[in-house]
Amino acid sequence: MACELTGLSLGIGSEGSFGGGPVPGLLNWDDELLCLYDSVKQRFIIARASGLVPLFHLETDQIAQLRAHLEKQDKGQGWICSFSSAMVKGLVGFAAVYDALEQHGLLLSSDRLSEVAVVTPSMRPLLNPLLTQLIVRFATLKAAVYFTFCRRAPVLNTLMLNSDIADDIKTAMQLLKQGKLVAVPTETVYGLAANARDKAAVLRDPHKISIYTISYQPF
């Protein structure tokens, strides 16, 4: 589609997966497919990249198995719980998952569910301590390279906000109006937000922090 829209002969596409994995025919939830397509020769090359967070989903109707699986992970790890009637996100720890199952009437007995439930690890950085650690390590390395090439660049003053707090959301809005950048958590990694009408926050200037200087550096 990209080749048809642009008129170019080569196109690159990528697609992540939120499948249960590992399941025949489906990618795991932290995998990525990359495709290089040649519209002239009608050929393509497919590549696959796997995530760095060693977490796995579980399908079970046994409460003891569910508890054991969740309690092996970091206490701050979030989970997505799916069953026939609903999908509940943002559940941290076994107690939260158990309460969700109870609220939806899935407790058949003290040790068994009325149907198989699927728990999948959340990839939201705020609910994934391992992924957060990787992001911090990458950001530290990125910053070191950034300041090596741009020694006169301003120092980043980072303010941590909570998207669940109304006052923090208002603070983020004020920062955007002031031309600042705001990192926004998503289901996978952080997105970078700025006021699109503020040229200084978007365009390239090696002496200012902008979308361009943070995201499109030539190294």
Kindly state the average pLDDT of the residues 156-182: 80
Q: Check residue 81 and give its pLDDT.
A: 93
Residue 157: the pLDDT is: 64
For residue 197, pLDDT over 90 is answered with no
- Would the pLDDT of 21 be above 50? no
pTM score > 0.75 for this model? no
d(C-alpha 187, C-alpha 209), whole Å: 25
Q: What pLDDT is stored for residue 3 in this prediction?
A: 77
Least confident of 12-21, 38-47, 76-85, 86-95: 12-21
Contacts within 8 Å (CB) and 24+ apart, 172-181: 181/209, 181/210, 181/211, 181/214
